[in-house]
Structure 1
Amino acid sequence: MNHQHMHVENPRFYEISAAIGFAGQRRRVYDGLVRLSDVRPGDRVLDVGCGTGYLSGRVARAVGPDGRVEGIDPSTSVVAYANERAAPNATSRVAGAEELPYDDGSFDAVVSCLAAHHIGADYRGRAFAEMYRVLKPGGRLVIADFRPPTGRLSRLAIGAFTRHAAEHVPLLDLALGAGFEIVETGHRWPVLAYVRAVRPR
């Protein structure tokens, strides 16, 4: 599907779906992604496809009161939901990943979880190039999305999040194509694949 974006429009339903899909382990999984990103107190971090702001909230705890988390998402409803519940050092705005409204080298880290499959395939290369652009040299990227389902359990977990078919998004190829240096790839329970990368200095 080559639409520019496939929006999440019902934030409360999404939160219920996420609770089911992660079987009560969402905080643990997301905190693991935060650790992978190596965010530090005082960092400025961008959450691409922030949705309801759950990952932004976990990052906000890690960067502390001297840090800042910015989230972007194309859905006005989820951005409003996220901002109503945001930590004091976090905010979200309506924007697409393929045209980030930030200056070059604005962020110490970029994080993203379960957003890449919502970006139309024709726009993903641009989105990764934009993530590269807004990172400082040496800045870190951690991006996670669905890995291909391998059995009934993983199909059920993915189905809790999305009605459209779980499409494999080639995170590694996209990161390499944008110029990132790959640090690590791997899986996170229950259905995530992730890429850790850096913008070369």
Structure 2
Amino acid sequence: MSQHQHVENARFYEISAAIGFAGQRRRVYDGLVRLSDVRPGDRVLDVGCGTGYLSGRVARAIGPDGQVEGIDPSPTVVVYANERATSNASFRVAGAEQLPYDDGSFDAVVSCLAVHHIGASDRGRAFAEMYRVLQPGGRLVVADFRPPTSRLSRLAVGALSGHAAEQVPLLDLALDAGFDIVETGHRRPVLAYVRAVRPR
């Protein structure tokens, strides 16, 4: 695939996301950043970073002394994200099931609309990896699709995913990995989330 095709595919993803969030993408993602309680100077991992939009919102919150790393299995979106990265953000090709980081490397892990792309048999391993790379006391916020409750939310999910939403058992996955749950909830129009910590 040519560089031009990589960029066009990533741009198409960005347009689909803008449509799917009905103009509310920044509000929704900034809400996830607040839930993660990231602070200036933190080191943060974005799992399934896509084109780096959530990482960019995290980068603003952690400031120049912080660092956000994003991983995604798609070289297309990683190229796109790195081309647009701020100085405190970087991206690499990797899967959530085998994170290329040492134990306890991060203060927080965030992920949005990634877990449903991971095979059901691999999701437990992905959450175990997120647990492993967090410091004791480190924070986790993972969001994914919730079942559509209206025609509008079904259209939004279709624009974002290209298929019907699968409800991913985020709470069970986090509990099975050993996290302490802080809260669960919804972010309109299409997300459910779990907020948790790695026990000290």
TM-score range, shorter chain: over 0.9
Identity fraction in percent: 87
- Counterpart residue number, 1:156: 155
Contact 2:170–2:194 (Cα < 8 Å) also in 1: yes
User: Which segments of structure 1 move beyond 3 Å, counting only runs of 4 or more?
Assistant: none
| TM-score of the superposed pair, with normalisation by structure 2 | 0.95
- Counterpart residue number, 2:73: 74
Is 1:200 equivalent to 2:199 in the alignment? yes
Is 1:129 equivalent to 2:128 in the alignment? yes
Contact 2:78–2:91 (Cα < 8 Å) also in 1: yes
- Distance in 2 (alpha carbons) for counterparts of 1:30 and 1:116: 16
- Distance in 2 (alpha carbons) for counterparts of 1:22 and 1:55: 13
| TM-score of the superposed pair, with normalisation by structure 1 | 0.95
- Counterpart residue number, 2:5: none
Contact 2:28–2:188 (Cα < 8 Å) also in 1: yes
Secondary structure of residue in 2 paired with 1:10 = helix
C-alpha deviations, 1:2-32, integer Å up to 9, x for none?
xxxxxxx921111000111111111111000
Contact 2:128–2:177 (Cα < 8 Å) also in 1: yes
**Root mean square deviation, CA, Å:** 0.9
Q: Size of the alignment, in residue pairs?
A: 193
- Name stretches of at least 5 consecutive residues in structure 1 with no aligned partner: 1-8
- Distance in 2 (alpha carbons) for counterparts of 1:70 and 1:198: 19
Is 1:177 equivalent to 2:176 in the alignment? yes
Secondary structure of residue in 1 paired with 2:69 = strand
Secondary structure of residue in 2 paired with 1:110 = strand
C-alpha deviations, 1:26-63, integer Å up to 9, x for none?
11110000000000000000000000000000000000
- Counterpart residue number, 2:21: 22
- Name stretches of at least 5 consecutive residues in structure 2 with no aligned partner: 1-7
Secondary structure of residue in 1 paired with 2:138 = strand
Contact 2:157–2:163 (Cα < 8 Å) also in 1: no
- Counterpart residue number, 1:83: 82
- Counterpart residue number, 1:54: 53
- Distance in 1 (alpha carbons) for counterparts of 2:96 and 2:9: 20
- Distance in 2 (alpha carbons) for counterparts of 1:151 and 1:31: 24
C-alpha deviations, 1:143-163, integer Å up to 9, x for none?
000001122111101001112
- Distance in 2 (alpha carbons) for counterparts of 1:134 and 1:54: 22
Q: Which AA in structure 1 matches 2:45? A: L
